[in-house]
């Protein structure tokens, strides 16, 4: 298929682009580069710099390339920031996605893969979390994504849009070519590895009094390559299915202390940790049931081990000590 990937210069986006290429699809990346990196996009993929809020640019993109599908990964992702600047998240994640959907309809594109989030569930009512559990976000980021899922249901019902909503849990690791790099960094595994690399003095453990075995939060970490493979399966399944909604997680939870211990094993470094108060709104346990996508599409994580995930992230960080800054030049159309 011919596929446009919005946000394809980002961490998950660039990994998904590579997976699509590996499966024989023709890919064009559309990214504002406000957070993404041009150098993360494979060199044989066309990269167009543009904003999903710009209807004229989107119409030119879709009418010119006439894709079979759009894989949409362009979004703001910081849940904490969304609670101080909710307007930023509703404008970009919700309203701009509506602009993209309108452009798709006008240009005859009827397949859509949506990068959704586990934040839709808020405080879980059971573990592991299943797709039919109550959706009740506790932050504006999750609400901004839930609004899109609600729009998609109506676009499917009224316009016949075929879509898949993929609810990510904690993506981590590296496919060897692209890696996790946010500014500022807010994700646990790269923060811990930055401390191992001497770029941070310590790692803060937010909350040690949760009702878990070691008192720290438990999260579901999924290798980014496994996440990317699910995008390919979902895209191809839309040829025979109208609507697909899946959790994407490892099915196993790891505590903050377990992630720290893994990083110490992998790096051989003594990583200092400092206990800190809980952050408001942090559930004790978030673990996904991914049985639905396993049964329906045959998806199975190839890298379920925590040490494997951390090792791949550490290797990428060692090979790119200055991130993408060391890669000369840009490659824009």
What crossing angle do the helices spanning 188-196 and 306-319 adopt, rounded to 10°? 60
Encoded tokens for 106: 């006008």
**Contact of 171 with 11, CB cutoff 8 Å:** yes
Give me the pLDDT at residue 80, please: 86
* pLDDT band at residue 331 using 50, 70 and 90 as cut-offs: low
Give me the pLDDT at residue 283, please: 83
What crossing angle do the helices spanning 11-22 and 224-237 adopt, rounded to 10°? 60
What whole-number percentage of the chain has pLDDT above 70? 98
Residue 106 lies in a domain: yes
Give me the pLDDT at residue 305, please: 95
Domain span at residue 71 reads 2-172+222-249
* pLDDT band at residue 313 using 50, 70 and 90 as cut-offs: very high
Residue 273 lies in a domain: no
pLDDT in tens, 209-227: 999 999 999 999 999 999 9
Instruction: Give me the count of residues in the chain.
Output: 333
Give me the pLDDT at residue 332, please: 46
**Contact of 308 with 223, CB cutoff 8 Å:** yes
**Contact of 220 with 102, CB cutoff 8 Å:** no
Contacts of 157 (CB under 8 A, 6+ apart): none
From 11, 30, 89, 141, active-site residue = 141
**Contact of 3 with 27, CB cutoff 8 Å:** yes
* CATH number assigned to the domain comprising residue 151: 3.40.50.720
Give me the pLDDT at residue 291, please: 97
| Rounded distance between C-alpha atoms, residue 127 and residue 251, angstroms | 10
Compute the Cα dihedral for 118, 120, 124, 128 and give only its sign: negative
Q: Is the pLDDT of residue 242 over 90?
A: yes
Residue 209 lies in a domain: no
Q: Is the pLDDT of residue 18 over 90?
A: yes
Give me the pLDDT at residue 326, please: 61
List the alpha helices (DSSP H) in the chain: 11-22, 55-65, 79-82, 86-89, 96-106, 140-159, 188-196, 224-237, 256-267, 291-297, 306-319
Residue 262 lies in a domain: no
pLDDT in tens, 129-142: 999 999 999 999 99
pLDDT in tens, 144-174: 999 999 999 999 999 999 999 999 999 999 9
> Would the pTM of this model clear 0.75, i.e. be above it?
yes
Q: For this structure, is 221 an active site residue? A: no
Considering the chain, what is the average pLDDT of its residues?
Answer: 94
Residue 108 lies in a domain: yes
Residue 322 lies in a domain: no
Residue 272 lies in a domain: no
Residue 305 lies in a domain: no
Give the count of domains, the chain.
1
More confident site: 280 or 116: 116
């Amino acid at each position: 298929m011919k596929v446009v990937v919005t946000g394809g210069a980002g961490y998950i986006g660039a990994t998904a682009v590579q997976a699509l290429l590996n499966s024989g699809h023709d890919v064009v990346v559309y990214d504002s580069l406000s957070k993404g990196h041009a150098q993360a996009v494979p060199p044989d993929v066309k990269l167009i710099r543009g904003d999903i809020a710009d209807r004229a640019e989107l119409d030119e993109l879709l009418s010119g390339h006439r894709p079979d599908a759009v894989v949409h990964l362009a979004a703001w992702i910081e849940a904490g920031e969304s609670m101080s600047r909710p307007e930023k998240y509703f404008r970009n994640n919700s309203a701009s996605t509506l602009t993209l959907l309108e452009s798709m309809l006008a240009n005859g594109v009827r397949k859509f893969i949506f990068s959704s989030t586990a934040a839709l569930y808020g405080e879980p009512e059971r573990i592991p979390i299943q797709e039919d559990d109550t959706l009740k976000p506790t932050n504006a980021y999750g609400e901004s994504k839930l609004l899109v899922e609600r729009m998609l249901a109506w676009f499917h019902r009224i316009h016949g849009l075929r879509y898949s909503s993929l609810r990510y849990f904690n993506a981590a690791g590296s496919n060897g070519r692209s890696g996790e790099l946010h500014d500022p960094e807010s994700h646990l595994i790269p923060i811990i590895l930055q401390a191992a690399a001497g770029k941070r003095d310590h790692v803060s453990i937010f909350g040690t009094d949760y009702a878990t075995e070691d008192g720290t939060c438990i999260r579901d970490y999924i290798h980014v390559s496994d996440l990317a493979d699910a995008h390919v399966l979902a895209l191809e399944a839309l040829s025979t299915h109208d609507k697909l909604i899946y959790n994407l997680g490892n099915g196993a939870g790891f505590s903050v202390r377990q992630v720290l211990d893994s990083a110490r094993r992998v790096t051989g470094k003594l990583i200092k940790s400092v206990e800190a108060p809980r952050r408001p709104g942090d559930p004790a346990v978030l673990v996904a049931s991914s049985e639905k996508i396993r049964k329906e599409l045959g998806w199975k994580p190839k890298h379920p081990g925590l040490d494997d995930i951390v090792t791949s992230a550490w290797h990428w960080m060692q090979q790119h000590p200055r991130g993408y800054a060391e890669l000369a030049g840009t490659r824009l159309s």
